[in-house]
Structure 1
Amino acid sequence: MVLLDRIGYAFYRDAEGRAFLPAGQFDVRLVTSLAKAGEASGDELASVLAVDGHDERALIEAVRFQSTFGGRKAARLVAVTERFLLLAARLRDELGIPGQGVAQTLPFRDKVVMKEHLARHGIKVPAFAPFTEAAARELLRSHRAVVAKPRLGTGSVEITVLRDEAELAAFTAAHAGRLADFEVEQFVTGRLYHVDSMVQDSKVVAAIAGGYIDETTSYQRLRPCRDVAVPPGPLLDTLLAFNRRVLETFPGFTGVTHHEMFVAEDGEVYLCEIGARAGGGGVIAGFLSRTGINLDEAMVRAQLGEPLPTTEGPADHLTGFIAVYAGPGTVREPIAAPDEPWVLESQILAEPGEVLDGPQNCNDAVAIVSVRGDSPEEVVRRLDRVHDHMAVALGSIAAG
């Protein structure tokens, strides 16, 4: 198998250090980034190529080389990073490797293709169009605001709310020459939720829902982003039912999905987007805590054609996470979560002495901490306690 990676080979292990990759069945031909080359170790590694992870041509040539390394054609190509999903699909098609090709991947990546596909199947989506100034102006006539988004965007980057002609003109001028990279859609007033699922042949095997307390673009203001699981009740039933309907439109799909949806002020549910990947932030830790399933492992196994993990269903407790942002400035104090049994996972992403430029997307946190609790209110209190515990260290960064 070829593994197309940008996050480091150490990532493909669980918290106890157990490897996800079934080394007894596959040798691993790794393509990784230069910065992560030092993590590549293990008897299962048959070949390692490290290239600039931002150089698509270098990545393509490396995968082509690895696909026939040693004179044997690779049986599978695995990529779990959202940024690489479409590239991996193109290479599977080119190299004749089984798995999701471009036709199956585009509806999970291109926001226009996605909404066209789901609207044809009767799923409620915001009014939308490929971005043109005329299309945005037409939508503005019908709605109080519209949103411009990169069609293949990740990390809540370049999402822009446009409320009038002046803001539309400024956006058009700022992105001249690449407007075709964007879509424009109706701004839905309401709350953003997500359902994270493990899926077998388009049927949901396990799913958990969560709701964002803060905007996913809060990184732009250096404000934290908090997320809390949805407890049993009518809202959870509505979200899970909508999720099932959406996934039924992808016949034969097996893997992991991160599905975001708006619940509007009138109670209607609209698709925001759906990706064939694990959710970011603390989604993986929360899913693991409540189901015993690591979504990254499930995604790897699906792409290898291996059986998915099994579970009896979500545990009764709830989970949530907080992503904390800071910068620009120098990290002067250690950043740490409180030493409490209810902290599930603490991802500390900045160390003392590190110079921060400031976050460029929602993934550029200095810390992501996941917690558990018996109610949404308890989870929120614990998330806020995490932030308060980090206040001194975060304040020293802000002072720069």
Structure 2
Amino acid sequence: MTSQIIGNAPASHQEKQPVILLDRLGYSSYRGPDGRPFLPTDRWEVRLVTALERTGEAVGDELASVVGVPGAEPAPFAEAVRFQHRWGGRPAARLVAVTERFLLPAAELREELGIPGQRVEQALLFRDKVLMKEHLRDHGIAVPDFAPFSREAALTLLDKYHRVVVKPRLGAGSSEIHLLDDIAGLDRFVREHAGRLAEFEVEEFIDGQLYHVDSVVQDSQVTAAVAGRYVDSTMSYRRLEPCRDVAVPDGPLLDALLAFDRAVLAAYPGFTGVAHHEVFMSPSGPVFCEIAARAGGGGILAGFRSRTGANLDEVMLRAQLDGSVPHVPAPDSHLTGFTALYAEPGRVLRTPVVPDEPWITEAQILVGEGDLLAPPTRYSDAAAIVSVRGDTEAQVMSRLAALAERISIPTAPEPA
């Protein structure tokens, strides 16, 4: 069951092109700080498919039709896209999406409906961790030793490297990642995931610092990029500890990360858009971790915007609409960082308050008083994400530490 809201009448073909926006962020995310819509009202007739609870954000003259979909399962969203494609008797010219969970379904729907844009084959090279590593290994990129999961493959890698990592092939947000050090742990994983083992891959554990490079790409050539270091594990949420991130300053390390990023994206001929690329820096040099055809999560959007003035989600939409990315200036010399803060499960006693500081560039308060919080299951299940800027890495780190001390997210357990 979908809740449908019909807005403006369809525009004439000469005035605007119809575009379906497949969304779960809420339509307010697709506007600049000044309220300017990312989808210009003079060019696009927007047919929105969004989460039912987000339909209140669907405001704008460019919106022709809005369908709200309850729940999170992909099938109802796909059916809503089919409805929007038929709406007004004129097929949609484009189908766009920026959130990772929708990138592969969007590619499948483009093929089904005959809409131009990224196809399933290319989308899988950014989503399936086995296919992406096979592809990049064949292009000479250093990748971990890996295999589609089977007990036999895991045993072979465990015997060779003594520690392995098991990940969902289509996973995101550091969810369902398992570190295995012995056969007992492997057999426990096999028992607990019986019937789902084909959904996973297994790879050697890389002993190295994890970085990310966030890039704007035109025809497989990087036109702008910044890099960051995960100060804490992206699985800190399991311990309810902050996950901090800080930009990499100019120097040999940044040069090496950007060079590796260019080599990886050169292996994706014809790709135009935005890439979030995670890299291990091992003693022998950079090793590929994974890549996604989207902006990074947490405070990465805010950091990129602070240093370049560009919103990566808007860049991504422009790429899907026009087949080209806008010019993005070189990053400013200041650095940025962010901290993702997690809360104890239970009822939130009061909404978190962020200090009023000029060096805070963005504060995402994701919980409020009275909310009932379950234990986080992925990196994105933060209660608050706060982004900062500073002149040096040390200053950014000092400000992140101050935030962890000054922001409290008290909860109370629910009665049994």
* TM-score, normalised by the number of residues in structure 1: 0.97
Aligned counterparts of 1:53 and 1:229: Cα–Cα separation in 2: 36
Correspondence for 2:237:
219
Partners of 2:97 and 2:328 lie apart in 1 by 24
Structure-to-structure mapping, 1:118-137, within 5 angstroms: 118-137=136-155
Amino acid at match of 1:65: F
After superposition, the C-alpha distances for 1:306-328 in whole angstroms (9 at most, x for unaligned) are 64232330100000000000121
- Structure 1 counterpart of 2:65, one-letter code: S
Matches within 5 A, 1:136-285: 136-264=154-282, 266-285=283-302
Counterpart in the other structure of 2:328: 311
CA distance in 2, matches of 1:377, 1:308: 33
Gaps of 5+ in 1: none
Q: Deviation of residue 267 (structure 1)?
A: 3.8
Instruction: Say if 1:293 and 1:309, in contact at 8 Å, map to a contact too.
Output: no
Aligned residues: 396
- Residue 380 of structure 1: aligned partner: 397
Contact 2:272 2:323 (C-alpha < 8 Å) held by counterparts: no
Cα distance between partner residues in 1 of 2:246 and 2:413: 30
What is the CA deviation profile of residues 79-122 of structure 1, one whole-angstrom value per residue up to 9, with x for unaligned ones?
A: 11100000000001111111101011100000000000000000
Amino acid at match of 1:322: T
Q: Within the alignment, does 1:86 sit opposite 2:100 as a pair?
A: no
**Structure 2 residue runs without a partner (length 5+):** 1-18
Are the structure 2 counterparts of residues 217 and 109 from structure 1 closer, same or farther at C-alpha, using a change threshold of 3 Å?
same
Per the TM alignment, residue 37 of structure 1 is displaced from its structure 2 partner at its CA by: 1.6
Asked if the contact 2:50/2:69 (under 8 Å) is kept, the reply is yes
Mapping 1:332-371, distance limit 5 Å: 332-371=349-388
Structure 1 consecutive aligned stretches of length 4 or more whose deviation exceeds 4 Å: none
**Contact 2:272-2:324 within 8 A present in 1 as well:** no
Alpha-carbon distance in structure 2 between the residues aligned to 1:291 and 1:49: 34
- Aligned partners of 2:243 and 2:249: how far apart in 1? 19
- 1:241-296 CA-partner distances (Å, limit 9, x unpaired): 000000001111110000001011x1421110000000000000000011111001
TM-superposed deviation, 1:144:
2.2
> Secondary structure in 2 aligned to 1:304?
helix
Match of 1:138, SS state, is helix
Query: 8 Å contact 1:197–1:204 — kept in the other structure?
Result: yes
Deviation of the 1:6 alpha carbon: 1.1
Q: Give the deviation of 1:357 after TM superposition.
A: 1.3
Which residue in 1 is equivalent to 2:3? none
Q: 2:49 touches 2:81 (CA, 8 Å); kept in 1?
A: yes
CA distance in 1, matches of 2:43, 2:65: 16
Task: Supply the AA of the counterpart residue of 2:119.
Answer: G
Aligned to 2:16: none
- 1:19-98 residue pairs with structure 2 within 5 A? 19-98=37-116
Query: Which stretch has the larger CA shift, 371-380 or 298-307?
Result: 298-307
The residue that corresponds to 1:294 in the other structure is: 311
Q: In 1, distance between residues paired with 2:219 and 2:328?
A: 17
Q: Is the aligned partner of 1:397 residue 2:397?
A: no
**TM-aligned CA distance change 1:398 to 1:162, over 3 Å:** farther
- Provide the C-alpha distance between the structure 1 equivalents of 2:378 and 2:162, rounded to a whole number of angstroms: 26
Q: CA shift at 1:74, angstroms?
A: 0.7
Provide the aligned C-alpha RMSD in A: 1.2
> Is the Cα–Cα contact under 8 Å of residues 236 and 243 in structure 2 kept in the other structure?
yes
For 2:328 and 2:119, how far apart are their aligned partners in 1? 28
Take 1:15 and 1:41, find their aligned partners in 2: how far apart are those partners?
15
* Letter of the structure 1 residue corresponding to residue 26 of structure 2: G
1:36 CA drift (Å): 1.0
Q: Quick one: which amino acid aligns to residue 135 of structure 2?
A: H
Q: Is the contact made by 1:229 and 1:318 (CA closer than 8 Å) also made in structure 2?
A: yes
Matched residue of 1:61: which SS?
helix
Aligned amino acid, residue 349 of structure 1: L
Shift of 1:46: 1.2
Write the letter of the residue equivalent to 2:149: F
Q: Is the 8 A contact 2:218 2:324 kept in 1?
A: no
> Any idea what SS the aligned residue of 1:207 has?
strand
Q: TM-score, normalised by structure 2?
A: 0.93
Determine the C-alpha separation between the residues in 1 that align with 2:311 and 2:170: 26
Distance between the aligned counterparts of 1:177 and 1:235, measured in 2? 43
Indicate if the aligned counterparts of 1:326 and 1:398 stay in contact, CA closer than 8 A: no
Deviations 1:111-167 (A, max 9, x none): 000000000000000000000000000000110200000000011100000011011
Q: CA deviation at 1:55?
A: 2.7
